[in-house]
Structure 1
Amino acid sequence: MRLDDPVVLDLTGVMDKAALMDRCAVALALPDWFGRNWDALADCLTDLPEPVTLVVTGWQTYARTHPREWGIAQDVFATAVDERPTHLSVLLALGEPREGFPEDL
């Protein structure tokens, strides 16, 4: 698993599928043809030109408010990893930043 220069997919503030797709498109520099749907995301993840370690942060609120969509997103990520295990790793950052808590501890 590659941990050098991970790509961070920050889902903080994402409240719907469209915003999640937009964040994926930007974080992963997906091609213009990316259709912003689950099938297109799956295709893009398995067609990434270089090995990628994707670290997903700030996902907890989206997961709580849209559990079905989050489940689909997890399935898409997991399937892409299974199809190209040496090309894609997806890590979920645990915990949520606490207000007023120093980030550099």
Structure 2
Amino acid sequence: MSGLPASPADWSVRVIDLDGVTDKAALMERCAAALDLPDWFGRNWDALADALGDPGQLPDVAGRLVLVVTGWEQFRRRDPEQWETALDVFGQASAANVLLSLG
């Protein structure tokens, strides 16, 4: 990520709460809701990567995004392969002005 902005106003915060999520479909629904994605959002890994790849295109995002993912432990235990894919997608977004925090 290039130099950090001087003002908190340059950042938008979105929380994706995965508490109770046990499958990919539910994870995608939580992401769509937290990021306020349109109904036509594809609900797949590529679509999520595209949405996070340019946070400026997300509704009400001020250019840089802090993405806080909470309640992820159960999902990780239930479906470790899908969780690894989610981490990859979130990690790729980190190169596009997204700061990831696992809460």
Query: What TM-score comes out, normalization by structure 2 length?
Result: 0.79
Question: Would you say the 8 A contact 2:64–2:98 is kept in 1?
Answer: yes
**Identity rate of aligned residues, in percent?**
52
Aligned to 2:93: 80
The 1:20–1:45 alpha-carbon spacing in structure 2 relative to 1, beyond 3 Å, is: same
Deviations 1:14-45 (A, max 9, x none): 01100000000000111333100000000000
> CA separation of 1:74/1:21 partners in 2, compared to 1, >3 Å: closer, same or farther?
same
RMSD (Å), alpha carbons: 1.7
Structure 1: segments with no counterpart, 5+ residues:
94-105
Tell me the amino acid that sits aligned with residue 56 of structure 1.
V
Secondary structure in 2 aligned to 1:55?
strand
Gaps of 5+ in 2: 57-62
More helix by share: 2
Runs of 4+ in structure 1 off by over 4 angstroms are 1-5
- Higher deviation after alignment, 25-34 or 3-12: 3-12
Q: What is the deviation of 1:64?
A: 0.4
> Could you say which residue in structure 1 is the equivalent of 2:27?
20
Aligned to 1:90: 100
Task: Decide which structure has the larger Cα Rg and report it.
Answer: 1
Within the alignment, does 1:71 sit opposite 2:81 as a pair? no
Alpha-carbon distance between aligned partners in 2 of 1:71 and 1:5, rounded to the nearest angstrom = 25
1 or 2, which has the higher strand percentage? 2
Equivalent in the alignment of 1:99: none
Please state if 1:32 is matched with 2:42: no
Letter paired with 2:102: L
State the shift of 1:59 in Å.
Answer: 0.2
